[in-house]
A and B are shown apart, each in its own frame.
Chain A
Amino acid sequence: DAGITQSPRYKITETGRQVTLMCHQTWSHSYMFWYRQDLGHGLRLIYYSAAADITDKGEVPDGYVVSRSKTENFPLTLESATRSQTSVYFCASHERAQGGTQYFGPGTRLLVL
């Protein structure tokens, strides 16, 4: 479980501010993902990355930006936070050669006022 970490664990911000959520994994997994978890919607994919410098949109990418300059890090940036982005954000990683299971971080609870 310690292989994938997220920071901060809790964040309160105001509408319009830029916020960056960090995700770090120590397994050198190729794939990394960002999800948001909302009541009634389950988990929805925001962005994912198949390798360093390769990213792609998921189901709900609007208002978010990602980068993957190093295999182990996959930060998620809210360029101008909105109240609708109040959510719990989960990062996950996966290596297809190991069977396809995704491993999740502990989550970041974000409140946008």
Chain B
Amino acid sequence: AQRVTQPEKLLSVFKGAPVELKCNYSYSGSPELFWYVQYSRQRLQLLLRHISRESIKGFTADLNKGETSFHLKKPFAQEEDSAMYYCALSTLRTDKLIFGTGTRLQVFP
């Protein structure tokens, strides 16, 4: 069965510190992986997807198939990065997304 694990419920850092939000997945085939972000009381929006291999708002994520991970990283956190972050997985056979339980990032000034 497919599963997404985000081990940290809360991650607190100071402004300017590096950030890494962990995501591990369980799937035997080739997954498509996403990071979605939800700012306070707003809708979820796509932050980035591994296929695009792009950097959005300074965030990057690399798919590591050997470790089955898709960690989200940013070298210097900003206060406006404070939000809920969800890692999600989709497979070629289905259009459904499987979400992790989310990590709340708090960036203190």
Contacts and interface: CB of A to CB of B under 8 A. Distances in A.
B42 A106 contact: yes
Contacts of B46: 101-102
B32 interface: yes
Interface residues of A, number: 25
Interface in A15-53: 31, 33, 35, 40-45, 48, 50
Given A41-B101, A42-B86, A101-B49, A107 B43 contact: yes
B21 to A, nearest CB: 13
Given A40-B101, A41-B101, A43-B86, A104 B43 contact: yes
Interface stretch (B59-67, B69-77, B91-99): B91-99
Given A42-B6, A48-B95, A90-B44, 12 more contacts: A41-B101, A42-B86, A43-B86, A45-B97, A58-B96, A94-B95, A101-B34, A101-B46, A101-B49, A102-B46, A104-B44, A107-B43
Interface of B: 6, 9, 32, 34, 42-46, 49, 51, 86, 90, 95-102
Given A42-B86, A101-B34, A90 B43 contact: yes
Nearest to A102: B97
A1 interface: yes
A48 B96 contact: yes
